[in-house]
Structure 1
Amino acid sequence: MMGPPPPPPSGPVAIALPANIAAALSDPSRPAADMIRDKDRHPGEVLAFAGVKSGAKVADLIPGGGYFTRIFSKAVGPKGKVYAYVPDELTKLAKREPAVNAIARDPVYSNVQVILNTLPNFGAPEKLDLVFTAQNYHDMHNKFMGPANLGVVNRQVFRALKPGGVYLVLDHVADAGSGLRDTETLHRIDPAVVKAEVMAAGFVFEGETRVLRNPADPRAANVYDAGIRGKTEQFVYKFRKPAR
């Protein structure tokens, strides 16, 4: 008599990464500190889910220190382009130039260009294959960012993309039904709010990867708290601009 089937794996299942993404992750130009973070951030799986290909035109919306910017640069290669889009609100708040400027000045990342503008404005010099934002969508709802009008931001993203282009949003999970309650205090957002706002701009929801899901996260702590930082439950939503 056969016993019960084995339980499904609790962690993310390893996948074979496209060659361009695997090469980008192992590129020796990446800081060692970034590579250490890969085990928690799963950038290979995230970029594979987004469909990043050589020659792609990508916007990294609110790139922070450039963790993903560097990976995008190598993944799209010399025929591709990466626009690191930095809202002026953040530059004024930090009272220093964006950290990503140093990446754009580095000849190793010659396909990176920094764009400074004020939200909700968003755009690029050419049509894009992908607009990507990681752990920052919630911040655009916060006071220090205006707050930005996300209805306008998402419509601008829609216009900036090629037909069939992808908008990928990655952020920290807040309790279901909490709406925008935790964006200022815990730096989390209800995924349902993001889905509704983005789809209202004309996007089609294409699905999610659960590679950053963590059911053990109680969702009650600020994402910067030492006990949960780097281990928060995060959603990765993929939206697509209709091809016609």
Structure 2
Amino acid sequence: MSGSNAAGDAEAASAQAAAPAAETDDTAPAATDAHLAAMLAGDWRDPANVARDRYRHPAETLGFFGLAPGQTVVEITPGGGWYAEILAPYLRDGGQYVAAVVDPAALPAGGGRDYQQRSRDRLEAKFAGDAERYDRATVVAFDPAAPVFGPAGSADLVLTFRNVHNWRGDGNAQAMFNGFFDVLKPGGTLGVVEHRAAADVADDDKSGYVGTDQVIALAEAAGFELAGRSEVNANPADTKDHPNGVWTLPPGNNHDEADATKYRAIGESDRMTLRFRKPAAG
């Protein structure tokens, strides 16, 4: 998204301005901490990623999920490393950041395998290019049909951002949530951010949106308990009826150029933010 259109930026900021504060409950952590604030202000972050903070609300989102410096955190399919730029340096001293990527060898030959290989190569190149931030980050490859993200009971926090629609489309959603449950310690947390549909959608829905109840059902079927909801990533301006689904909106911007102002004013998608807990050992 270009930063040269000041009027458009102002429209977007207005449409998705200060999101409501995260819901709180007895286990809700503080919204942020000084160490996290320093990571968000880090000059190593890609300026294009920083520009999206107003849509992704990383401080409030990670605070709601209970991020703490000494944790082992598994991020599922981090893509280009938007959150890795924050999480890996945050956890470098005293914690552990694990980037869980799809194993290209687990996929049939063709476009899907090639795409996942390119994605993994880019992330590993990013890590190799800045040892000061990423030298202690770990990359774990998994088979989406039977995922293993690390030793059982080894993680404090598993995070997934805008991925559930992909797993549903591939028929792997329940296997993924089962894998999250297995890798977490008793009492551990699963944090989910996903494009939010107005209601349940079909298994073969191509919009990129998912019903909130559908995500909760996947987590509960794996053994999780819903521990909190937040509206921090809500966007009431998102009508969810776009010609090319969620990818019509920024940052995908899959639309006619004539509609650029319209979609820039909406901003990024309306998103659910859910916190789940693996029950403590009884």
Short-chain TM bin: 0.7 to 0.9
* Partner SS, residue 140 of structure 2: strand
Counterparts of residues 91-106 of structure 1 (less than 5 Å): 91-94=113-116, 96-98=118-120, 99-105=122-128, 106=130
Aligned to 2:144: 119
Matched-pair identity in %: 31
1:197 alignment partner, one of 211, 218, 238 = 218
Which gives a bigger RCO, structure 1 or 2 (Cα 8 Å, sep 6+)? Answer: 2
1:71 alignment partner, one of 86, 95, 105 = 86
Structure 2: gaps of 5 or more residues: 1-16, 23-29, 254-262
Q: Does 1:178 align with 2:206?
A: no
Q: Deviations over 1:135-160 (max 9, x none)?
A: 111101224xxx32x22221221110
Shift of residue 48, structure 1, vs aligned partner: 0.4
Measure, in 2, the Cα distance between the counterparts of 1:97 and 1:37.
20
- TM-score (normalizing by structure 1): 0.86
CA contact (8 A) 1:23 1:74 kept: no
RMSD over aligned Cα atoms: 2.2
Aligned to 1:239: 276
- TM-score (normalizing by structure 2): 0.75
Structure 1: gaps of 5 or more residues: 1-8
* Partner SS, residue 152 of structure 1: helix
Measure, in 1, the Cα distance between the counterparts of 2:163 and 2:213.
16
Aligned to 1:188: 209
Inter-CA distance 32–241: structure 2 relative to 1 (3 Å threshold): same
Inter-CA distance 115–80: structure 2 relative to 1 (3 Å threshold): same
Q: How many positions carry a matched residue from both structures?
A: 230
Inter-CA distance 194–16: structure 2 relative to 1 (3 Å threshold): closer
* Partner SS, residue 52 of structure 2: helix
Instruction: Give the 4+ runs in structure 1 shifted more than 4 A.
Output: 13-16
Q: Does 1:41 align with 2:56?
A: yes
Measure, in 1, the Cα distance between the counterparts of 2:48 and 2:200.
36
* 2:138 aligned partner, one-letter code: Q
Shift of residue 40, structure 1, vs aligned partner: 1.1
Shift of residue 118, structure 1, vs aligned partner: 1.3
Counterparts of residues 24-35 of structure 1 (less than 5 Å): 24-35=39-50
Q: Deviations over 1:95-122 (max 9, x none)?
A: 5252211233230212211112211312
Shift of residue 16, structure 1, vs aligned partner: 5.3
Inter-CA distance 57–91: structure 2 relative to 1 (3 Å threshold): farther
Aligned to 1:154: 177
* Partner SS, residue 75 of structure 1: helix
